[in-house]
Amino acid sequence: MAADTNSPLYLHPNDGSYTISVGKLTGAADYKSWRRSMEIALTAKKKIGFVLGTVLRSTYAQDSVKADQWDTCNPMVITWIHACLSDTIKKSVLYVNSARETWVQLEKRFSMSNGSRKYKLNRDLYKLRQNNNPINVYYTSMTSLWEEIDSMNVLPAVTETSAEIRNFAMRTQLLMLTPLPTVESACSMLQQEESQREVLNLSGSKLTLSAMYSRGGAVVHTNSETLESIR
C-alpha cells in the first residue's frame, strides 16, 4: 500500500536531523521570532500537530502500525527542535521525551507576557533611528517591529498606515501628499530620494575637486565646460 504523504505520521526518506533550517534559539529576546520560524517549518513538514498537541499517540492506540509511526515521528520532531537550539538550552530539554512537552517547556521559560513584550517593542520602535543606514535596512528593521506588535493586537487594526508613515519618514514631501502613500510606496520614494542625494553628493565632490586656482587666474571645470576669468 502506498504511503500517505499527507499524513502527519509520514516521514520523507530524506528527512534527517538537519532537515529544518532555522536559526538557533539563544534566549527570551529571540524566542518569538524563533517560534514563528519553527511553526512555519513544522507546518511545511505537516508536523506542527506534534508540538501543538493535536497529534497524540493515544489517537492511534488501537492501530499498532500508526502507533509505531508516531513513535518514529515524535523523536524526529524533537531532533529538529534540538538542532535549532543553542547548546545550553538544548541540554536543559535533552531528556524530555515528547515534542509537545519540549515545546511547552520552551514556551514557559522564554515567552514574555504580551504586555511586557509589547512595551519593549514600542520602546524599541520609539528609539529606532535611521542614522547612517540605507533606507531599505531602516525600513526592514521598522517593519519587523510593526508586524510583531500587530501580531499581539487582540482586535484587528482599523488603519495604522498614517502612524506608520509618520514613524517611518518625517519628510515634508511625503506628509503633504493626499492621501498618504502606503508604507511600501513611501519606502520606494525615499530610496529614490536617497539615490538622487548620493548622485548629487558625488557630483558635488567632483565639482569641488575640479575647482583650481592659479596665479594667472581662477579656472573652474564643470564637466565639458571651462569657465575662465582672467586677472
CB-based contact 147:198 (threshold 8 Å): no
Please tell me which residue, 177 or 50, carries the higher pLDDT value: 50
* Total Cβ atoms within 10 A of residue 93: 17
Question: How confident is the model at residue 87, as a pLDDT?
Answer: 92
CA distances from residue 30 to 37, 214, 215 in whole angstroms, order as listed = 11, 62, 65
pLDDT tens, position by position, 89-134: 999 999 999 999 999 999 988 876 566 677 777 888 888 887 888 8
- In angstroms, the CA 47 to CA 99 distance is 10
Nearest to 126 by CA among 170, 167, 175: 167
Please tell me which residue, 113 or 183, carries the higher pLDDT value: 183
Please tell me which residue, 21 or 187, carries the higher pLDDT value: 21
pLDDT tens, position by position, 197-226: 776 666 555 544 444 443 444 444 444 343
Question: Mean pLDDT throughout 152-175?
Answer: 52
Question: How confident is the model at residue 54, as a pLDDT?
Answer: 96
Question: How confident is the model at residue 71, as a pLDDT?
Answer: 96
- In angstroms, the CA 165 to CA 181 distance is 8
Q: Average pLDDT over the chain, rounded to whole?
A: 76
Question: How confident is the model at residue 170, as a pLDDT?
Answer: 47
How many CA within 13 A on the CB side of residue 41?
18
Place of cell 511545511: 44
Predicted confidence (pLDDT) at residue 145 exceeds the cutoff of 80: no
CB-based contact 76:15 (threshold 8 Å): yes
CA distances from residue 225 to 131, 145, 210 in whole angstroms, order as listed = 37, 50, 12
- In angstroms, the CA 150 to CA 162 distance is 15
**Cell numbers at residue 212, please?**
583650481
- Which residues are CB-neighbours of 121 under 8 A, at least 6 positions away? 145, 148, 149, 152
Please tell me which residue, 53 or 179, carries the higher pLDDT value: 53
Predicted confidence (pLDDT) at residue 176 exceeds the cutoff of 70: no
Q: Of the given ranges (8-17, 40-49, 99-108, 127-136), which has the lowest mean pLDDT?
A: 127-136
CA distances from residue 111 to 50, 66, 206 in whole angstroms, order as listed = 19, 33, 54
pLDDT tens, position by position, 63-87: 999 999 999 999 999 999 999 999 9
